[in-house]
Structure formats: C-alpha cells, structure tokens
Amino acid sequence: MNDGGSKRLWQGRRRWGCEMSEIIRVEPEELRKSYIKIYLAIENHLSNNSQLKHKTPHCLLFFYAIECAVKYCWMRKENLCLSPLPQVKDNERHPFYSHSLDPLIKDLQIPANNLSKYQRNFHLTGHKSSKLINFSQLHQVWRYGIVIKPEDEISAVEYLKQIGEYLEQRWQLR
C-alpha cells in the first residue's frame, strides 16, 4: 500500500464556527472487512452471554457494523473504488459522511417488505428532550447512553438485522 495519505484525507472547512476534522476516505473492501469483524465480534460475544443481548454498547457497535455494510454496498452500486469526496452542497456533506443511513438505504432500493414490519420511531425513557426519536437518531441515543424503551430497542435492532440480512444476500458480504 502506498503512502497516499494526502490523497485519502480531506481537509475540512470552517463550519458553525469550528474546524471540521479531516475525513478519511476508504475503499469498499475496508468497509466490508470492518462489517465482518464488528458483526462477528458482537455475535460471538452475545452468544457467550445472552444477558447482554440489547445493551447499549452492543447496539451501538451493531449499528456501526450495519453502517459499514450499507456504505460498502452503496459504493459497489456506484462502482466506486474510493469513498466519494465530501463536497459540501447547500451546507450539507455527502450522505456517505453521516450516520444517517436513510439516504443510502433508499438509494440501495431495499424492498419495503423487508423493512416495513419494523417501526422507525422509538420512545425514550426518562430523558428531558424529545420523547420520540427516529431511525436516523438511533446512533446518537446509543452513543450518548440515552435509554430507549426495551421493546423499541428490540425493534430497532431487528430493523438493523433485516437491513444486514438483505445486504448479505444481495451483495454477498461474507
């Protein structure tokens, strides 16, 4: 591997009064391998300890595994060998550089019948801000340790599993 570090990093621009960090551009295969590593680690850990089934750190890592899978498949669909440049258009970065997976999932055209039985809004418990969050906010809730109603968290994980299962079948991830 060459030292193309400067080719893989993008120096951010000032936005909202602070400097955006450098963005690392990735190859599809790096995302696929990351998906497999994270997914297998979680699967192995959970199979050895069923009490941890829906604990926040595992949910967050599972979200990141599915994020890698979605981005890998999207890059394959777009025939990209390196993640897109994060050009800012209308003050928005490319959806690839967000944790909101909705635009990429929509672009991958995952059949609605694969996902429609799972809710996309989730109730928070004991939190001062909004009591209802949507799918695009899940990673934030898990990252910051905010509690979701247990049945909603199960539904959120099942929703992510369905995305992963569809992508594994369609794009041969493993």
Instruction: Spell out the domain ranges in the chain.
Output: 26-171
pLDDT the model gives residue 2:
44
The span from the CA of 14 to the CA of 160, in Å, is: 34
pLDDT of residue 57: 84
Structure tokens at 28: 């599809």
Query: The tokens 């690839």 sit on which residue?
Result: 96
Q: Kindly indicate the confidence band of residue 113, based on its pLDDT and cuts at 50, 70 and 90.
A: confident
Cα dihedral sign, 157-159-163-169: positive
Q: Which of 38-47, 92-101, 115-124, 162-171 has the highest mean pLDDT?
A: 162-171
* pLDDT (tens digit per residue) in 116-149: 677 778 888 876 666 888 888 888 999 998 888 8
Longest dimension (CA), the chain: 50
When mean pLDDT is compared across 15-19, 56-60, 73-77, the lowest value belongs to: 15-19
Q: In the predicted model, what is the mean pLDDT of the chain?
A: 79
E runs forming strands in the chain? 9-10, 14-15, 18-19, 23-24, 121-123, 132-134
Q: How many whole angstroms separate alpha carbon 136 and alpha carbon 1? A: 35
**In whole angstroms, what is the distance from residue 17 CA to residue 110 CA?**
38
Between CA 109 and CA 92 the distance in angstroms is 22
* DSSP per residue, 135-171: GGGHHHHHHTT--B-HHHHHHHHHHHHHHHHHHHHHH
CATH fold of 26-171 reads Four Helix Bundle (Hemerythrin (Met), subunit A) (1.20.120)
